[in-house]
């Protein structure tokens, strides 16, 4: 499949927007699937907020497709950010955006990002971090990345059999936060423990029967979370230095995973001051 681009235009007007070729549309639509994302090393960034956040983070972007009408409505800050991409902006029709988007009502802008695949080795990983064990909801992953950014946790580490961090819904749900984080994928728990040991890092597992922290740890740490439906397996719970939990004061079977992450990160990071 070809990933050629339409001509870059100097002035965005509706009658100048070029129509993407069939091969171009096929290539861009193929990025909906994990197989083709990793074959090409490219992924979709959909929506104005995620795209501008990617530019702000200096994340590598190959090209931007935008409808002229949306470009004309950009505010000054948005226009300045997109203008940093110079020759990478391509004006296309809303029909083309609709055909390559994963959304039924797309906003009118899609960027193509370059996949970064850092390796969990050497000095690439710094703590604190969040390790996610076999989570499969891309919306939860996106929300967790937003929460991690809020608490200045720079590393998201995913186990094998977890959702792809570059899936369109995960990217979109992160609202651009993923571009300010390092995402490590297909990392076994054994690899995590080895890296933690080398860096004198405390491993916290989570479970409904875990306890709350009374004060934040004084050493670097990594928070290990499982899926809402299955939690963490016993070998992880028994290998961790400590098991944390969120006390239940009312009823209900469980908390949303991203909500739990936020509560536990507050426990781990706050200074005890209100």
pLDDT in tens, 37-70: 999 999 999 999 999 999 999 999 999 999 999 9
pLDDT in tens, 8-34: 445 555 557 888 999 999 999 999 999
pLDDT in tens, 29-45: 999 999 999 999 999 99
> Which range is least confidently modeled, 79-93, 114-128, 214-228?
114-128
pLDDT in tens, 180-226: 999 999 999 999 998 898 888 999 999 888 888 878 888 899 999 99
Residue 40 CB: number of other CB atoms within 10 A? 17
Task: Work out the pLDDT band at 153, boundaries 50, 70, 90.
Answer: very high
Given this model, what pLDDT does residue 1 score? 45
pTM score of the predicted model:
0.88
Task: Work out the pLDDT band at 124, boundaries 50, 70, 90.
Answer: low
Residue 224 CB: number of other CB atoms within 10 A? 28
Residue 224: closest CA among 245, 204, 246: 204
CA 220 vs. chain centroid, Å, equals: 23
Residues 6+ apart with CB under 8 A from 268: 128, 204, 213, 216, 217, 221, 223
d(CA 262, CA 254): 14
Q: Please state, for a pLDDT cut of 90, what percent of the chain lies above it.
A: 69
Task: Give the domains, in start order, of the chain with CATH numbers.
Answer: 14-114 (3.30.1330.30), 129-269 (3.40.1280.10)
- The runs of H, that is alpha helices, within 209-256 are 234-239
Given this model, what pLDDT does residue 218 score? 85
Given this model, what pLDDT does residue 272 score? 45
């Amino acid at each position: 499949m070809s990933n050629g681009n339409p001509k870059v235009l100097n002035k965005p007007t509706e009658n100048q927007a070029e129509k993407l070729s069939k091969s171009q549309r096929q290539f861009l639509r193929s990025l909906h699937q994990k197989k083709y994302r990793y074959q090409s090393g490219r992924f979709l960034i959909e929506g104005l907020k995620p795209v501008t956040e990617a530019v702000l983070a200096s994340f590598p972007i190959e090209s931007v497709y935008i409808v002229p009408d949306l470009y004309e409505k950009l505010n000054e800050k948005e226009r300045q950010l997109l203008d940093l991409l110079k020759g990478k902006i391509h004006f296309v029709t809303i029909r083309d955006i609709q055909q390559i988007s994963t959304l039924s009502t797309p906003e009118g802008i899609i960027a193509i990002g370059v996949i970064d695949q850092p390796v969990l080795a050497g000095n690439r990983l710094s703590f604190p971090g969040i390790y996610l064990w076999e989570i499969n909801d891309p919306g939860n992953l996106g929300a967790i990345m937003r929460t991690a950014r809020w608490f200045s946790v720079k590393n998201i580490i995913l186990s094998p059999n977890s959702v792809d961090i570059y899936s369109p819904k995960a990217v979109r749900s992160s609202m651009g936060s993923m571009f300010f984080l390092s995402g490590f994928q297909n990392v076994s728990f054994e690899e995590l423990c080895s890296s933690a040991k080398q860096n004198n890092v405390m491993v916290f597992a989570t479970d409904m029967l875990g306890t709350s922290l009374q004060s934040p740890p004084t050493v670097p740490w990594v928070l290990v979370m499982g899926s809402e439906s299955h939690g963490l397996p016993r070998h992880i719970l028994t290998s961790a230095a400590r098991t944390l939990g969120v006390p239940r004061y009312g009823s209900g079977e469980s908390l949303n995973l991203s909500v739990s992450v936020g509560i536990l990160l507050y426990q781990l990071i706050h200074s005890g001051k209100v």
